[in-house]
Copies of this chain bind each other. A is one copy, B any other.
Amino acid sequence: MKIRVNVMLKEGVLDPQGKAIGHALEVLGFANVGEVRVGKTMELEIATEDRSAALEQGEAMARELLANLVIEDFAVEVIG
């Protein structure tokens, strides 16, 4: 089973990368772009056919390694 873990900075945490991308898009002529937030996305192959077990494991891996819980939020979804 394949899961995806999206890790984003928490609301209120400054996102300089997002700001830089927003500015670059404006320079390229995309004038209607507001806030831009940048994060990591990870696709992981889990050797199980149990959907809830895969989601639970995704959460555990995010808590232990994939996300910095002080400044980041994460979301886990099954994608395949």
A residues with CB within 8 A of B: 6, 8, 18, 21-22, 24-25, 28, 30, 32-48, 57, 60-61, 64-66
Contacts and interface: CB of A to CB of B under 8 A. Distances in A.
A39 to B, nearest CB: 5
Contact of A21 (B22, B36, B48, B66): B66
A65 B39 CA distance: 16
Nearest to A54: B32
A41 B44 contact: no
Contact of A25 (B18, B47, B48, B61): B61
A48 B34 CA distance: 11
A47 B28 contact: no
